[in-house]
A and B are shown apart, each in its own frame.
Chain A
Amino acid sequence: MSTRPGPQAVPQPELSDRALGWLRFAWDKATTPDDWSDQGEPHPWWDRYGSPPMCVFPRFDLSEMAYTLPMLMESTPAWREAYTRIADELIWRFVSFWGGIDWNTLIGPDPNVDRYSPEWLCCAPEPLRGAYPLPGWTGNGVEPWGLQPDPVGADGNLFYRAWLNLTLGIRRYVAGEATEHDTFQVTGYRNRQFPWTHDRVARHLSNQLATRPQGPHCENTKIWPTCVTAAGLGLQLYDSLRGTDLHAPFPAWAEYARTHYMGLKPDGDLDWFAFYYDPVEDKVATLHEPYNALIFLHVLLPQEPAWATQLYELCTRAIGFSDRRHPVVHLAKDPRMIVTALVLARELGDTTTEARLRDEVEEHFQPRFFGEHDDRFGYWFGLDEPWPRGQLNAILAMADAAPPGAWSRVFDQPQTDVHAEPTLRDVDFPRVAIRQARNDMTARTLDVVTAVSRPEPQATTAVTVDRLPAPSLATVELDDRPHTAWRVTGSDAIEVDLPVDHCRLRVWF
């Protein structure tokens, strides 16, 4: 038993079994090779089925899966390598042919405008149904925009570059590496390659926000509050990490949206909210107001908390999520509304609504562990599919990944100090997972809690701790007992042997 005084016993977050299970499955998806070129096809577990017609592209699974990575960091700020790897795998897929398949292949006018199902036709403005391209049909190549072969350098296709920028920002945050000027290639029309950097993408977005008061558009020609807000969120993160001011145009757009993209009734209830606005047709699509507004609040909240909270209250009241007099009703088969509302309720501290929706999720959305050692986790939604549906799980994982408020803290108060602090590396993940990894810079300790799905007590594994000020002066404890199986391996690094089992490691530095 250690006799040295340790850090004060303040409860710190750690990754739950579900969070670890989600991370395990995310690792599977990210690190299993597949072909996203025009010669191949993404693995079927990449969700290109969710929330049709507008989200039936695997790119949405990529960007939404990135959301939990910085949230998981709240429990493991000193261990981030797995998140960085996953982010890298998401990004190369994002900029591939299949990442931009909608912009690259849904060319010209939509030939099926009068052939979609009634359910899908509802996504068009009422007077235009049957004569109007549905959301999802990007219409690259139509007049007056012409064919724009670069998915990033385009008038339209905002949803592509907005979420690319956000995902790049998340990668930069979890990795702590200054990669914003590193060039990468974006695959465009006819497989033409377009070089971009994170910095250029961010500045291009910022310029478009500043020069287009209505907001840049996605499909030709639809302006989505969701996508413009996602653009803002990525810029907010970029500014937080780099000290820039690229997010500056967003508040003016938010004010514009409050004025022109929504209306309130005299009693203060939500009258209407634009699902999207088409400036060419001068028409708004309003599928159903609570849905229109609810689905984007998680990207709005870190930027405009007051407006987001107002919309959240109006929407959850309108659809009864917060009304304890009645059971939660599933208005649509797509669970996205309930899933998003649960994440928001938790984020905002609305414990009543969170509890109601959590009960609903537990009862109807089939949470379960799966895989060889039951170490993956997902929600199956009664879909009878071989893998958990990606987009919905990615959002729902936000409610399992971290304490309330964690999502907003990513953007408001990113933990950038951690990148200079002692860091755990070379963990044999997923054989060994990390439930908690945290420095106490006052007590000068690094505390690590491991988790394994299949303990191998006779086996050992080695982990590295670097960024130590004086590695030869470190002392190590394993499960509160002095541990001597470690060695200095660099000017700032040590390597420690651990059992392949649940254990607690403490490094004094």
Chain B
Amino acid sequence: MSSPGSRRAPSATSSPRQDVTAWERAWGLLPRSWAASLLRLVLGLFGVVLPPASRWDPVLRRQITRSLVVDITTDDGVARRWSFDGPGRRARSTTVTAGAPDHALRFATSGQALATLLSTRTVDRVVAGVVTQRMRIEGSAFVVIWFHGLTRRIVRIGRRRGPRVRPPGAYLSPDPSLDGDETITREPAVTVLDPTWTDAWRARARLWMPRGGAGEPMPEP
């Protein structure tokens, strides 16, 4: 019988990652006033572009589904707020006014914020920053990921994660010759649950999946 540790025990504590990377150190060399000004410019650009884009870009509009407020701030005095109108599918941006946001991403310094937001690996850096307690997320980390996705609709920094070439061997449509000894029953496509199966409709209405889509508040993933 194998015993615990008979597999190679992980050496996970032997080489912790560096808390502050060279990239972040480089941004930290900027004088604070310069960094703050540059960050205000960057956040201001997103503040100026995102709202009108939310009026005419269907890709952005379809993702604005709830009314919420997101702040990005630094401890050295830079702050920007985005307010999302779910029913209207609009965004607007202001300086941070009174009232707590629903979600916030807070940095210690403007240099740190620039290093993170202008990185090709923003989400990784945010996670690392939160883990090492150099950054703070208030509210949901998933909303931060969602917001980051919206900004990438304006300016995409870094490639999308995934294979660089299409993986081979895709199975894209039914092929009965591959069913083997079993027969897969395939019937014509339908677009909706049989309306006469009322018991199924009643049961389905209890599921969180359709309830979440109907606007009912649901927990995060």
> Is chain B a partner of chain A in the same complex?
yes
User: Bound state CA distance, A451 and B71, in angstroms?
Assistant: 56
Q: Does B94 contact A (CB under 8 A)?
A: no
Interface residues of B in 106-164 (CB under 8 A from A): 123-124, 127-128, 130-133, 140-143, 145-147, 149, 152, 160-163
Which of B26-34, B46-54, B73-81, B174-182 binds A?
A: B174-182
B215 within 8 Å of A by Cβ? yes
Does residue A379 face the partner (Cβ distance < 8 Å to B)? no
A305 touches B131 (CB 8 A): no
Task: Say whether B189 contacts A143, CB under 8 Å.
Answer: yes
Residues of A within 8 A of B221 (CB): 51-54, 119-120, 122-123, 287, 332, 334
Q: Are B212 and A53 in contact (CB under 8 A)?
A: yes
Per the CB 8 Å criterion, the residue count for chain B at the interface is 91
Q: Closest approach, in angstroms, between the C-beta of B221 and any C-beta of chain A?
A: 6
Beta-carbon contact of B203 and A105 below 8 Å: yes
Binary per-residue interface labels of chain A (337-379) against chain B in the complex, 1 for a CB within 8 Å, 0 otherwise? 0000000000011101100000000000000000000000000
Bound-state Cα–Cα, A142 to B186, Å:
11
Q: Quote the shortest CB–CB distance from A65 to chain B (angstroms).
A: 19
Question: Considering the complex, which residues of chain A in the window 117-160 have a beta carbon less than 8 Å from any beta carbon of chain B?
Answer: 117-123, 126-127, 129-131, 134, 136-137, 141-150, 153-155
A272 lies within 8 A of B162 (CB): yes
A462 CA to B160 CA in the complex, in Å? 65
Residues from chain B with Cβ under 8 Å of A145 in the complex? 173-174, 186, 189
The distance from the CB of B173 to the nearest CB of chain A, in whole angstroms, is 4
- Give 1 or 0 for each of A57-79: 1 = CB within 8 Å of chain B CB: 10000000000000000000000
Which of A106-114, A167-175, A391-399, A422-430 sits within the interface?
A106-114
CA distance A176 to B1 in the complex (A): 20
Given A38-B199, A260-B167, A279-B167: A331 and B9 interface contact (C-beta under 8 Å): no
Judge if A454 is at the interface, Cβ distance under 8 Å.
Answer: no
CA–CA, A106 and B162, complex, Å: 28
Q: Does A56 contact B (CB under 8 A)?
A: yes
- Stretch from A19-27, A322-330, A478-486 that touches the partner: A322-330
Q: Are B180 and A211 in contact, with the CB atoms below 8 A? A: yes
Contact call A320/B200, Cβ cutoff below 8 A: no
Pairs across A and B, CB under 8 Å, 15 listed: A52-B221, A112-B213, A123-B221, A146-B189, A190-B197, A207-B180, A214-B167, A279-B172, A280-B172, A286-B161, A288-B123, A319-B127, A325-B19, A332-B221, A352-B12
Q: Kindly list the 6 A-B residue pairs having the minimum CB-CB distance in the complex, ordered from nearest.
A: A112-B213, A130-B62, A213-B169, A404-B4, A322-B12, A349-B5
Q: Which residues of A contact B (CB under 8 A)?
A: 38-39, 41, 48-49, 51-54, 56-57, 97-98, 101-102, 104-123, 126-127, 129-131, 134, 136-137, 141-150, 153-155, 189-190, 200, 203-204, 207-208, 211-214, 216-217, 221, 256, 260-261, 263, 269, 271-272, 274, 277, 279-280, 282-284, 286-290, 305, 309, 312-313, 316-327, 329, 331-334, 348-350, 352-353, 403-405, 408-409, 412-413
